[in-house]
């Protein structure tokens, strides 16, 4: 999923934290809620300005960010 149309970072909104476009809901809030076990449906109920695509964009952003931030462990050479 292309998350770029869903997420913005503006220093005038939530101190510059990334948020869902058109809202003040931070990615951190959505991810924390998912980590606590909430479903996408529950998140949308708690944050009615969000759509399912918004939440999926947050997940996609987190997945890409994790790929970029995780160090690649070396593979042992067996001779």
Residue with tokens 């994790």: 66
| Residues 6+ positions from 5 with CB-CB distance below 8 Å | 21, 57
Residue 9: phi, psi to the nearest 5? -135, 115
- Give the model confidence (pLDDT) of 1-48 as tens digits: 788 899 999 999 999 999 999 999 999 999 999 999 999 999 999 999
Domain 7-69: state its class: mainly alpha
Paired tokens of 29 = 């809030």
Mean pLDDT, rounded, of the chain? 89
| Residues 6+ positions from 33 with CB-CB distance below 8 Å | 42, 43, 46
- Give the model confidence (pLDDT) of 45-70 as tens digits: 999 999 999 999 999 999 888 776 65
Would you state the pLDDT for residue 30?
98
Burial class (CB in 10 A: 0-12, 13-18, 19+), 79: exposed
């Amino acid at each position: 999923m292309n998350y770029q149309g869903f997420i913005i970072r503006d220093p005038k909104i939530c101190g510059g934290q990334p948020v869902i476009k058109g809202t003040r809901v931070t990615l951190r809030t959505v991810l924390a809620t998912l980590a606590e076990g909430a479903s996408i449906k529950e998140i949308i109920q708690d944050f009615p300005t969000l759509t399912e695509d918004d939440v999926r964009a947050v997940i996609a952003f987190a997945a890409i960010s994790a790929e970029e931030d995780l160090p690649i462990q070396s593979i042992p050479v067996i001779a």
